[in-house]
Structure formats: structure tokens, C-alpha cells
Structure 1
Amino acid sequence: YVNKEKNELRSKLSTEILKELAEKEGFKMMERADILKLPENERIEYTAKLTAFRAKARPIINERLKVAAPDVNVKDFVDHIDYLVKKIGIDYVGISSDFDGGGGVEGWDDASETFNVTLELVRRGYTKKQIAKLWSGNLLRVLDKVQKVAKQMQKQG
């Protein structure tokens, strides 16, 4: 997550809800260190049960988190871009989609919603040239430089 406060709140509440659900179900939650101390066969069995329990609990947790700790959204993501641009400069920041989705940013779930990021950049006053740098220009510039260095190194043999 790019919003530290949201991430911390979400993690805290997620853990609390999971523990609450475990108590209701009579499932004993164990700390990672304690799980690792179990004999191998017990550890494998417990881990399988834990995985199944978490899968069952996930929809309930997600539903309860929607109100208490909403997902990171496009505005949060662009806040992070703003932070990096201020810290290191527009010429050293690049962004990309993972193309197939699941990135964890509400409003940018897959490549079809990429425009939402560009729109937020425009709303914040980024120019067309700056947006081009962020989406591809900076990466392509660096790759060109890398190729030139590689050619020089090959010539030196």
C-alpha cells in the first residue's frame, strides 16, 4: 500500500477481525514462531487448516473493512507519485500497470482503468510532457542509455 496510515489501520483491523472470527469458530490462532515449533506433520496440518480458515474469513473481513478501512485508491497512489517527484524529481519517477489486475488500488484494478491515474495526474496539474515521462519517457531514456553503455562495453571487449 502507498498510504502508510491506511495500510496500518487495515492490517490492524484485519488481524482483529480474523481473531474474532477464529474465536467464534473455535479455531486456535497461533503465532508464526509457535507454528514453526510444531513437528512437521502437525505444522503441515495446522497450516492447511489456517489457509482454509483464512479463505473462509476473507470475504467477511473484506466486507467489514470497506467501511472501517477503505482500500487505497487512485488519489492515494498519486499522492505517492507526488511524494517521489518532490523527493527525487520528475525525471526519475516511472509508473506502470501490472496489466492483468489485482494491484490493490481501488479505481485501478486492471489496465482498463489506467486512464484514472492519468486523469488524477491532470487534475493535479501535471503537464502532458510530465505525464509522458512518468508513463514511459523516463524508462525509455534509461533503457537507451543502458544500450549505449552495453555497446561501449562490447567494443572494449
Structure 2
Amino acid sequence: MTTDVLWWTLSVALIVLGVAGTVLPALPGTLFVLAGIVLGAWIDGFTRVGWGVVALVSVMAVIAWVLDYAAGLLGAKKAGASKLALLGAAIGTVAGLLMGIVGVLFMPLVGAAIGEYIAQKDHGRAVKVGIATWVGIMIGMIAKVVIAFMMIGVFIVALLF
């Protein structure tokens, strides 16, 4: 096996790990996708995938990170979430990691609702804040997945054409 094959295997593995990381909060998905793309560009000496493409996918990675972070906060803020609700969503996210994909998807909602209930003692408000936070997180995750695939598409186009 040549060295190039090993490098390309690592590049593809980073990209695949990154795609998984776009839905798993424990992994920095777009960072891994970006690392795989930069490695792929480096393997080829930046001839087919030049610095302009690397800069473009880097900007896309930053946008994905900002959107992912901001979407959950905006959802919570729009519902008037307390700081305890935001803390609850963060704790729920961490707890969800231990519960598999269902936990990752729904524990932030539960955590935000519990945090808001502790802060306000109002069931209806707690549910509203939990759902709004969850919707924001899901929108951020979808945006991150879409942008990650756009990054991969830009890379493939540059590599093949």
C-alpha cells in the first residue's frame, strides 16, 4: 500500500467522521470534514484543490459552527428561556450522549424544560421553552449537515474538475 493511499484513506475517514459529527454533539463534525478536505488538498500539493477552495470550505465550516451554536440559543431566546433553561439544555445534551441517538435528539428538550420549570415553576412555560430550544437545536443541526455536504461537494468538484 502506497503512502498516498494511506493519506487518502485518512482524508476520507476524517470526512466520514465529520459527517457523523454533524449529528453527534460530542464530535466537532465540520472541523473533521474541514480537516479531511485540507488533508486531501495537501496530498495533491494543492494543485486541484487550491487555497481558494480551502478558504471557501473554511468559511463554510465557520458558518456551520456559528449557525449550530446560535440556532439553539435563538430558539430558546425567542421563547424567553431563563439561564437555567439554557443550562438544562446543555446538561441534557451531555446526558443524551450516554443514551444514544434518541438521547442526543431529545434530552436537550427535556433539560431545557426542567431548567425552565425550576426557574419559573410553570409547566406550560417549561414545555414551550423546551420545545423552542429543541426546534432551534434541530434547525442548527440540519443547517450544519447541509453545509457539511456542501463542503464535501465543493471539494469533490475541485478534485475531479
| Rg comparison, structure with higher value | 1
* Both proteins in one fold, TM over 0.5: no
Normalised by the size of structure 2, how large is the TM-score? 0.27
Which structure ranks higher in relative contact order (CA pairs < 8 Å, sequence separation ≥ 6)?
2
Normalised by the size of structure 1, how large is the TM-score? 0.27
